[in-house]
Amino acid sequence: MLTTSRGIALLLAFAISGLTVLSLSLLNEISPTLLMVVGGLTFSFSILLLSVALEFLIFKEIETLQKNNTFRREFIADISHELKTPIFAAQGYVHTLLDGAIEDKNVRYKFLKRAAKSLKTLDKLVQDLLTLNQMESGVVKFHFEDFDLKDVILELIDQLEHKADKRKVIIRFYFDKGKTYRTSADKDKISQAIQNLIANAIKYNHHGGEVVINLKARKKTLAVEIKDNGKGIPQEDLNRIFERFYRVEKSRSREKGGTGLGLAIVKHILEGHKSKISVTSALGKGSIFSFTLPLIKPSKSGKGNWATAQ
């Protein structure tokens, strides 16, 4: 009981009200009824003030420190594992070659190719960690410029089509051809965020699935929605998927590649634009990731016809 803020506040309130009543009882003109009233009021005010003070000034700070320590331990464990995986894989291939397999031309090429892939994964992990750390520390500066968001998405679809083709995933992009979608943002970083979201929608979709991208111009904002019809994300995981290295299915996610930092980077990029990434998901039906950016020009629509890029 005494390890909680309420227990400590209760004990101190009793002590304060007791001392107050005891001090007043020394005065002859104080009646027992008045002593009881004063004691009750003193106890009530004391427990209220002490509870608030202890909860927000002391116990909240302790809880924050405990969470930070837990996060620090989990982060060290996660990053150690993520770094060891590609390093050990590359080491294994190189040592096998040094032990004699290098004499076989076919084996040599295959193992060197696999070692290079592992080192590429390691390099991507380090680069993502540096990017995320710089964003969190405020080192990375955002360079805002005016551009058409529709054109950026079309370029990204073109870049990612080969990944989609490998999994027989169809990418559909819906926008109003009579409108412009100009915004003011850091073009490179917004491009990186959208690329991560589309790549995830392809990666975690089922074979032969579909990725639907909707771009809508509202009164003052542009709304981007990226939807897949994959396995979906359990409700208990939705609040954690933007954490570093958090994976819904660890073994399955590692088989698909990636650093586990993509969504964390997306979150920080959008926060740097005063925006927020939202997600809804249903098991067996897929997930929808969405965010908004400012619309800098009034859009002019023809007859409201919709254009589709796929």
- CA distance linking residue 167 with residue 195, whole number of Å: 17
Q: What is the predicted pLDDT for the residue at 195?
A: 93
Beta bridge partners of residue 309, listed in sequence order: 173
Tell me, yes or no, if the pTM score tops 0.85.
no
pLDDT tens track of the chain, all 310 residues? 445 666 776 777 777 777 777 776 766 667 777 777 777 887 777 777 766 666 665 666 566 666 656 656 665 666 666 677 778 788 887 878 777 777 777 777 788 888 888 787 777 777 777 777 777 777 678 899 999 999 999 999 999 999 999 999 999 999 998 888 999 999 999 999 999 999 999 998 988 899 999 999 998 999 999 999 988 888 888 888 887 776 666 544 444 555 567 888 899 899 989 999 999 998 888 999 999 999 986 545 444 444 444 4
What's the confidence (pLDDT) of residue 118?
A: 79
Q: What is the pLDDT of residue 262?
A: 81
Distances (CA, A) of 160 to 58, 153, 172, 201, 291: 51, 10, 12, 11, 20
Predicted local distance difference test score (pLDDT) of residue 253: 46
Q: Are 44 and 73 in contact (CB under 8 A)?
A: no
pLDDT at site 275: 93
pLDDT at position 149: 96
Identify the pLDDT of residue 76: 62
- Of 208, 165, 196, nearest to 291 by C-alpha is 196
Q: Which residue has the tokens 């592992």?
A: 118
